[in-house]
Amino acid sequence: MGSVLQGLTKLQSVENRLRAAKAKLTRCRRNVIIQENQVRTLQNALEAKKEEIQLTTIQSDRLELELKSRDEQIAKLRASLNSAKTNKEYAAVLTQLNTTKADNSKIETQILELMKDIEADQAECLQMQQQIEEQKQKLEEIRKESEQLAEKYEKEIEEIQLEWDQAAKDIPGEFLETFKRVAETYDGEALAVIEQQEGKTATYTCGGCFMGVTAESVNLLMTRDEIIRCPNCTRILVLSSSQE
C-alpha cells in the first residue's frame, strides 16, 4: 500500500481512539442527566401524592359538613318526636330518625377511612422526601465525579485531536473529505480491510459489509496509491498487513 493509504490507516487508528474518548465523555455526562431525571421523577411523584392528600381532605371536609347538617336534622327530629301527637306520627318520625342515624354512622365510617388514607399518604410523603434527599446527595456526588472525569477526558480528547491533525496533515484534501464523510456514516469506521477467502481461486470480501470485492481492486491497491471504495458500503478499502 502506498503512503496515502498508510496515512489513512494511521488516521483510522487515531480516529478510533478519538471516538472512544468522546464516547467516554458523553457517557460520564449522561450519568448526571440520568440521576437528575431520577430526582425529578421522585419530586413529581411527591407532588402527585400531595395533590392526592389535598383532594382527600376536600372530600373529607365535605362529608364533615354534611354530617354536621344531619346532626342538626337529628336534633330537630328528636324535638318532633317529643311533640308527636299521635302514635302514627311518632312512629313515622322514629323511623326517619333511625334512618338518619344509620346514614350518619355510614358517613362517620367514610370520614374515618379518608383520615386513614390521608395519614398513610402523609407517611408516604415523608418517605419520598427522604428518598429525594438521598438521591439529591447522590446527584451531587455523581456531578462532582463527572466533572473531574470530564476534565480528564477533555484533555485526552484535546491530545488525540492534535495527533489526528498531525495524521491528517499529509493526506490530500479530497481523500480526507472522503474519510470524514464515510467515518460519519459508519460511526468512525471509514476503512474496511479486505478479507481473503482461500479456494481454488482466492475471493475477496469487504471487511465492513462482507460483500464481494473484485481481484482487480485488490491488484490496484497492491500496485497503486489510490483510494478504492467498496461498491456496496462505500468504505475505503485497504489491504491487511499480510496482503501487502
Residues found near Zn ion in the complex (CB under 5 A) = 206, 208-209, 230, 232-233
> Judged by CB, which is closer to Zn ion: 114, or 237?
237
Q: Is 85 helix (H, G, I), strand (E, B) or coil?
A: coil
> Judged by CB, which is closer to Zn ion: 22, or 231?
231
Using CA atoms, how far apart are residues 127 and 121, in angstroms rounded to an integer? 10
> Judged by CB, which is closer to Zn ion: 191, or 230?
230
Strand-by-strand arrangement of the 191-197 sheet? 212-213, 203-206, 191-197, 236-238
Using CA atoms, how far apart are residues 114 and 117, in angstroms rounded to an integer? 5
> Judged by CB, which is closer to Zn ion: 67, or 209?
209
| Smallest separation, CB 235 to Zn ion (Å) | 5
DSSP 8-state symbol, 235: P
> Judged by CB, which is closer to Zn ion: 124, or 195?
195
| Smallest separation, CB 232 to Zn ion (Å) | 5
Q: Is 166 helix (H, G, I), strand (E, B) or coil?
A: helix
Beta bridge partners of 191: 236
| Smallest separation, CB 205 to Zn ion (Å) | 8
Phi, psi of 204 (to 5 degrees): -125, 145
| Smallest separation, CB 231 to Zn ion (Å) | 8
Please list the helix, strand and coil fractions of the chain in percent, rounded to the nearest 5, in that order.
Answer: 75, 5, 15
| Smallest separation, CB 149 to Zn ion (Å) | 36
Alpha-carbon distances, residue 15 vs 21, 33, 167, 197 (angstroms)? 10, 27, 10, 28
DSSP 8-state symbol, 225: -
| Smallest separation, CB 213 to Zn ion (Å) | 8
Using CA atoms, how far apart are residues 55 and 81, in angstroms rounded to an integer? 39
| Smallest separation, CB 210 to Zn ion (Å) | 7
> Judged by CB, which is closer to Zn ion: 40, or 181?
181
> Judged by CB, which is closer to Zn ion: 90, or 186?
186
Question: What is the length of the chain?
Answer: 244
